[in-house]
Amino acid sequence: MEQYFVNNIINSNRYTVDDKDLFKHIAVVLRHQTGDELFLVDQSKALFKAIIDQIDVDGKQIIFDVEKDNRPSTEMPVDLIVACSLSKKDKVEWIAQKSTELGAKKIILFSSKYSIMNWKSNIVEKKISRINEIVKNAAQQSKRRIIPEVIYYSSMKDLLKESAESKIVAYEESAKDGEQSLMAKELAKKPTSIIGVFGPEGGFAPEEIDFLKESGYTAAGLGPRIMRAETAPMYFLSAISFNYELQQLGDN
Amino acid sequence: MEQYFVNNIINSNRYTVDDKDLFKHIAVVLRHQTGDELFLVDQSKALFKAIIDQIDVDGKQIIFDVEKDNRPSTEMPVDLIVACSLSKKDKVEWIAQKSTELGAKKIILFSSKYSIMNWKSNIVEKKISRINEIVKNAAQQSKRRIIPEVIYYSSMKDLLKESAESKIVAYEESAKDGEQSLMAKELAKKPTSIIGVFGPEGGFAPEEIDFLKESGYTAAGLGPRIMRAETAPMYFLSAISFNYELQQLGDN
């Protein structure tokens, strides 16, 4: 069953969708009819089962009968931020989509020394707007309760604005030094918030790694194989989900 | 430093590359010169540091001085097979590339009831040949010691040819039933070989799940969020790498 985010709090057993885009998607593109069921998630992250009661074609509104649904949240039990150095357009969009499916709460894109792309200030808004759209769709498809936030930082130094109990920078040189278990050691502390920072295809400059280490980051390898820039954050998110959502459940 | 697979056993301190494609890539495309260093992996999975001694442009040969390199293997300590239902061309190629980066030893593509694509028998060879090329390149880039095997099965029943100590089919209905820890429980048994089977965008038919369960498969959820068909195998491989290569290392 499809799920859509709505821009209000739902606080009665009737709800009217009057967002033009959402009306068009549900009534025109997908041709839903009276009686069809779907999920709505409101601004308080509450989930509702919603049955179409009326489709007002002239007014471009859909009126739903709604009922709160109490199934467990699909959100990670840990606040996860992924910060990825800028890459080619399709890779950035892909990272945003997959990070959403894999449970990130915030997605940061930033410029670093060896980034193969830079966003000029006049295109940032357009780029972020397009990525927000991708992230919203991915959040709906994967049945998230929130839409992850997307941020752009033109300088790596801005990463210091982000606080988290555990700060990890993926660094393949660490793997070469045999430090492969540092990420597992960080997770074993069961932090309630984690930020993972990922470099571009060309990697981080040594001074960038030094800067992050001096700022409280652990430089951790993600296993012995070299991953592409877009693969490493997916590994990171998957490993954390496995650890927090499957293993710790198994511990009980 | 780049790495290439060669089709022989290297058993002296000199080695001649006479493969035309590899010659062209190293000498013409990348314009390597005498004295340049790279890695060669031979058919016995041994890694060698190789320095270009001579480039024979007329004979299309490169002669290397080679020395065995004893750094640890980059292969997973568990034999991993991923079997994915057919999907669109770019997704299949993407799954093959990422599965290689993430350590799969064998990649199986198969037809299932709700697969959105089917490969006619006359195009299978061409498709597999193209995917083999992608997998070989990904294996070189990620510094694997082997090139994963790629296989196509026109029927899901052919999956029974594959043996593994742990057999898992990703099934989101299991997640809905609260069975989220089954994959973690399977890994806790520390199997030495694992096969993971993944359905198409439309999911498996109930009778397909029944067939796999009757064949010894565990139907396991991969967390509470719905992942796209191509994301689920990446989650699976990343989680297993984390468990076998980072966590178990941390246990010691």
Q: Is B91 on the interface with A (CB under 8 A)?
A: no
CB B236 within 8 A of CB B82: yes
B228 to each of A99, A208, B147, B197, B202, how far by Cα in Å? 12, 34, 26, 14, 10
Contact B226 A143 (CB under 8 A): yes
A250: nearest CB among B181, B241, B242 = B181
Cα nearest neighbour of A104 on chain B = B225
Contacts with A239 from chain B: Cβ below 8 Å? 238-239, 241-242, 246
Contacts with A1 from chain B: Cβ below 8 Å? none
Compute the distance between CA of residue B126 and CA of residue B132 in angstroms, rounded to an integer.
10
Band of residue A176 on the pLDDT scale cut at 50, 70, 90: low
Q: What integer best gives the mean pLDDT of chain A? A: 93
Report how many Cβ contacts below 8 Å link chain A to chain B.
128
Cα nearest neighbour of B184 on chain A = A247
Q: Evaluate if residue B176 carries a pLDDT over 60.
A: no
Band of residue A181 on the pLDDT scale cut at 50, 70, 90: confident
Contact A224 B245 (CB under 8 A): yes
Q: Is B181 on the interface with A (CB under 8 A)?
A: yes
Band of residue A172 on the pLDDT scale cut at 50, 70, 90: confident
User: How much is the average pLDDT of B64-69?
Assistant: 97
Compute the distance between CA of residue A237 and CA of residue A99 in angstroms, rounded to an integer.
7
Whose structure tokens read 């009057």?
A18
Q: What integer best gives the mean pLDDT of chain B? A: 93
The sign of the CA dihedral B182, B188, B191, B194 is positive
Q: If we measure between CA atoms, which residue out of A37, A39, A42 comes closest to residue A11? A: A42
The CB density around residue B127, as the number of other CB atoms within 10 Å, is 19
What is the per-residue pLDDT across A199-242, written as a single tens digit (0 to 9) for each? 998 899 999 999 999 999 999 999 999 999 999 999 999 999 99
User: How much is the average pLDDT of B44-55?
Assistant: 96
ipTM: 0.93
So what's the pLDDT on residue B13? 96
Q: Evaluate if residue A46 carries a pLDDT over 70.
A: yes
User: How much is the average pLDDT of B235-240?
Assistant: 98
Q: Evaluate if residue A245 carries a pLDDT over 80.
A: yes
So what's the pLDDT on residue A214? 96
Optimal mutation site among A194, A198, A242, A252, interface B, most CBs of chain B within 10 A: A242
Q: Evaluate if residue A60 carries a pLDDT over 90.
A: yes
Q: Evaluate if residue A251 carries a pLDDT over 80.
A: no
Q: If we measure between CA atoms, which residue out of B220, B218, B209 comes closest to residue B180? A: B220
Distance of CA B37 to the CA centre of its chain: 26
A121 to each of A109, A152, B138, B165, how far by Cα in Å? 13, 10, 35, 54
Q: Evaluate if residue B5 carries a pLDDT over 60.
A: yes
So what's the pLDDT on residue A252? 41
B203 to each of A242, B200, B209, B226, B229, how far by Cα in Å? 21, 5, 10, 11, 8
Q: Is B74 on the interface with A (CB under 8 A)?
A: yes
HSE-up of residue A213 (Cα within 13 Å, Cβ side): 12
| Kind of pairing between the strands at B79-85 and B106-110 | parallel
User: How much is the average pLDDT of A23-34?
Assistant: 95
- Is 0.90 topped by the overall pTM? yes
Separation in Å, CA of A11 to nearest CA in chain B = 26
Q: Is A218 on the interface with B (CB under 8 A)?
A: no
Residues 6+ apart with CB under 8 A from A226: A172, B101, B141, B142, B143
Contacts with B181 from chain A: Cβ below 8 Å? 246-247, 249-250
Residues 6+ apart with CB under 8 A from A31: none
Cα nearest neighbour of B238 on chain A = A235
What is the per-residue pLDDT across B154-165, written as a single tens digit (0 to 9) for each? 999 999 999 999
Cα nearest neighbour of A1 on chain B = B226
Cα nearest neighbour of A247 on chain B = B184
